Structure 1
């Protein structure tokens, strides 16, 4: 790994909140990165949203806060276009000294789920729709961004407005250029329902790479916004009364011959499609903490606000939590519409894909697909609040089938510490810890 043309480079891994944790290193150390890795405490992947150690966590107190070894992922080094000075980022993940994966690393959790698909001769293709706000955070409260053309804050909803996209043309042009050099396959961009809200779709690819793309995209968007005099946030609900940010996940599964196992040649899809949908529905309640991991996440779940809350599925119906989009049978796929934009992409894809596989393993059958507006139906669904979500996640048997116990334990310790910390912060100030961390 030759980075000698640079003075320094960064190594970074995803913690449980999806924040990038790592080090800045001199370029001369890159030669030994593959063989020696970088030593860092296991506990650094299990700090809270403020970056503080988790009180009472067995990861710290039962191990003496031991070191693990960060090793480069298959992604390899990439530029960091949000920085003024040239540098490179090497994405990493955590291992033990004997080379076995550290189960508290969220990327390893996804890898373990994908291995179960691979053991069947299957590969998962996934794509994400990334919603975010550009904002002005220079005052005491968040505000819509300044229109670069008029010099005034933007006003009025502008869903699918080319005018609003064009107002931020310089920023979007820089974003697409940056995605190209980072090999993030950004596709369409649209102006969404909220003031200053946008969505960028990232193209289908192998599921681990899709999670990498989502993780890297979030860091790129936030960093590039700062270079253009704004802030960007993936908070689930930056503005009360305005649209929330989601991250919709699309996925299909290919067999060893490259055939889509969800395709039966017709519009309804195969029995395996129904089993996978049933698994996703059966896991919604227990997995609420993954789809809504923060205090701000629960403000997004308002009936009729384009954030599904009930365990229902449908064909081509955006009010349902699980949607089967229309299109040619060979492209039959599942769209999981529950997650907020503030999630950890690795944990989210691990739970969604693990739930689908559990449904297939069990031969589970979903209820009949709904028609009409899901918000008008009396449906079981997500845990109602953050504290409840932590409790049900900790003991849910489906979660125990999908994620390693150490990760479940660490995440519950982390979220209970964050819950306690947020209770001491006035509601109108709670956006500050989340603005650029989620």
Structure 2
């Protein structure tokens, strides 16, 4: 447990293999930075003296206040008491277990050493049900028991604002200024403006052991899109959460606020957090790829002609994701605002139905397979999540549902969809996804929810995470917005 490279983590290139290695790496340091992740995907951490850190790394970890699982992203205690941290247990300490595999240095912060932690119950020594890293590690471990390796990639779209935390507060978050004007997707000109900031994000990511595959402008005023390099699922989630930290840190130094909010502007496309996934067997072969013979002739067992270029296991995996998608929506779209991104549906390439398509960006799950890519690159892209997702929970949900589909040999719900029409929706030809956090949370917490199955998330996680989403809904229902005042104050 503590002081070890944990199961399912691809180490950074400089990670120590032992405590002796660790001591040598830190010989010239006086402090270390550590952080864990809360249910909203917010990094919670602190500096530790080197002596305290080494003591914790060599033993059972160190105490960390459990309140980070008892309050929301703005440090407000949840509306109702939840199991992990509450008044009854005195907001007791959890054990923070240092993961040596996550060692890197923060280049923009004086090269201070940095490690991620996972959280364990101080009495049972078991991973707590809502620790994001623990949840994903459990899913990855189940795959490893079957001889499979979970691989993933994340793509983030995010707005940039020419603001500071102070200016946002002074403006009451109104009339905020985008970094650049206009719609300029894939622009080579817009990258010349604020080029130091744009390039810093890429260059510092590499130094921070968060490798990128692509970095460009996306359509929208001041919008960037960054694709993180494909890797093992738990390392991918770590990289995704740390990329946000990096972008926000670099931004603050340059008077820029990057926002991963799903829908900052009502009349513009929102910000996605697309997730690519695949499985490999113990020999490193893609479990989703068809054989060379099948590639030439087509797979006879394919349920639909458009899926003949993926394996039977991939088809079952896809069917599992589609079957459980409506029941795990809060793990993909965890905020009130996130569902506003989905309202526009296909118009903004934000799918809101249980659909899949062969290389289709209009579908909720896009199949990427030959002839578009070589067989070894066969994968699925889940396009429902927004940039505000918690990547640990989102990736966990996709793999848990997919492996459930393989185990049950589930069938696809219908043929692929390249374009979903209003008539299709009205005729009930496709199943629609929940359109609000309130509806999505109710569905996830229902007694018959697939999310409650032990092979997916289990009841303890659903009760805790669902309770945090109910809190979010309660705050929204109590809020009076500018839209309401402008609409009703004079004429109602």
TM-score by length of 1: 0.91
1:130: which partner in 2? 156
Match of 1:16 among 26, 39, 45: 39
Displacement of 1:136 after TM fit? Answer: 2.9
| Distance in 2 between residues matched to 1:429 and 1:17, nearest whole Å | 26
Aligned residue-pair number: 422
| Distance in 2 between residues matched to 1:237 and 1:80, nearest whole Å | 30
Displacement of 1:404 after TM fit? Answer: 3.3
Q: Does 1:52 align with 2:76?
A: yes
| Distance in 1 between residues matched to 2:251 and 2:468, nearest whole Å | 29
- Greater mean alpha carbon deviation, residues 12-21 or residues 163-172: 163-172
- Which ranges in structure 1 are unaligned for 5 or more consecutive residues? 147-153, 431-438
2:451: which partner in 1? 399
Match of 1:143 among 173, 176, 180: 176
| Distance in 1 between residues matched to 2:383 and 2:28, nearest whole Å | 43
Q: Does 1:274 align with 2:315?
A: yes
Q: Report if aligned partners of 1:276, 1:359 keep a CA contact under 8 Å in 2.
A: yes
Q: Report if aligned partners of 1:156, 1:195 keep a CA contact under 8 Å in 2.
A: yes
- Greater mean alpha carbon deviation, residues 59-68 or residues 287-296: 59-68
1:283: which partner in 2? 324
Q: Does 1:365 align with 2:411?
A: yes
Match of 1:87 among 99, 112, 128: 112
Displacement of 1:384 after TM fit? Answer: 1.7
Q: Report if aligned partners of 1:136, 1:142 keep a CA contact under 8 Å in 2.
A: no
1:435: which partner in 2? none
Displacement of 1:68 after TM fit? Answer: 1.5
| Alpha carbons of structure 1 residues 162 and 46: separation in structure 2 relative to 1, 3 Å | farther
1:317: which partner in 2? 360
2:350: which partner in 1? 307
1:346: which partner in 2? 392
1:434: which partner in 2? none
| Alpha carbons of structure 1 residues 398 and 11: separation in structure 2 relative to 1, 3 Å | same
| Alpha carbons of structure 1 residues 142 and 278: separation in structure 2 relative to 1, 3 Å | farther
Q: Report if aligned partners of 2:202, 2:215 keep a CA contact under 8 Å in 1.
A: no
- Which ranges in structure 2 are unaligned for 5 or more consecutive residues? 1-21, 296-307, 485-492
Q: Deviations over 1:25-44 (max 9, x none)?
A: 22322211312412013342
1:294: which partner in 2? 335
2:261: which partner in 1? 235
| Distance in 2 between residues matched to 1:164 and 1:312, nearest whole Å | 35
2:219: which partner in 1? 193
| Distance in 1 between residues matched to 2:129 and 2:247, nearest whole Å | 29
Higher relative contact order (CA 8 A, sep 6+): 1
| Distance in 1 between residues matched to 2:242 and 2:436, nearest whole Å | 29
Q: 1:15-34 residue pairs with structure 2 within 5 A? A: 15-34=38-57
TM-score by length of 2: 0.81
| Distance in 1 between residues matched to 2:231 and 2:175, nearest whole Å | 35
| Distance in 2 between residues matched to 1:168 and 1:45, nearest whole Å | 38
Displacement of 1:109 after TM fit? Answer: 0.8
| Distance in 2 between residues matched to 1:239 and 1:226, nearest whole Å | 22
| Distance in 1 between residues matched to 2:55 and 2:204, nearest whole Å | 28
Q: 1:147-186 residue pairs with structure 2 within 5 A? A: 154-186=180-212
Displacement of 1:425 after TM fit? Answer: 3.6
Displacement of 1:321 after TM fit? Answer: 0.4
RMSD: 2.0
| Distance in 1 between residues matched to 2:478 and 2:249, nearest whole Å | 29
Q: Deviations over 1:347-371 (max 9, x none)?
A: 0100011111111111001134434
- Greater mean alpha carbon deviation, residues 214-223 or residues 132-141: 132-141
Structure 1 or 2, whichever has the larger Rg, is 2
